[in-house]
Amino acid sequence: MRVGHGFDAHRLVEGRPFVLGGVRIPFERGPLGHSDGDALAHALADAILGACALGDLGAHFPDTDPRWKDADSLELLAACAELARGAGYAIGNVDVTVVVQAPRLAPHLAAIRSRLAETLRIDPANVSVKAKSSEGMGYTGDGTGIAAYAVALLERSNGA
């Protein structure tokens, strides 16, 4: 078994859709980024790559490459899961914590879990997504940005 950890943060600005875990959530601001800025997807992709010691998302999908401009980050996440499978690993379970003051994420967590499970091709029971506020402190608390932390457990597969 191998464990991987990932972190990501994006600035929240006006004029950008708020996309998290592939789910579009109504809000007046959204993550700034070369791709769609999906911090959850990026942290989770890094956790999966990290478990395989395959570098990070930026190494595989550089933000200097116009191909990934406004990219759907779930496609990047799916590609990272494929890299892990190619390296001989099956994704066991993943756990993500998102830190943001607003919008309220609780009503969207089930949809996010379902999208992630579909993207990773694992059972939704093996996908956990939690939302926290930082109680008004720091960049996640004052509305400047959003952060996500993820861990992934991968297991050597038998060529499956």
Residues that bind Mg ion (CB under 5 A): 8, 42
Q: Which is nearer to Mg ion, 8 or 61 (CB)?
A: 8
> What distance in Å separates the CA atoms of residue 8 and residue 160, rounded to the nearest whole number?
30
- The CB-nearest residue to Mg ion is 42
Residue 55 φ then ψ, to 5°:
80, -150
Min separation Cβ 107 and Mg ion, Å: 24
Q: Which letter does DSSP use for residue 62 in this model?
A: -
Count CB atoms within 10 A of the CB of residue 101.
21
Task: Return the number of the residue (136 or 138) whose C-beta is nearest Mg ion.
Answer: 138
CB of 73 to Mg ion, least distance (A): 8
Residue (31 or 120) nearer to Mg ion, CB:
31
Q: Supply angle C-alpha 107, 94, 115, rounded to 5.
A: 45
Nearest-approach distance from CB 1 to Mg ion, in angstroms: 27
CB closer to Mg ion out of 75 and 155: 75
Nearest to 115, CA basis, from 57, 158, 73, 59: 73
Least Cβ distance, residue 111 to Mg ion (angstroms): 21
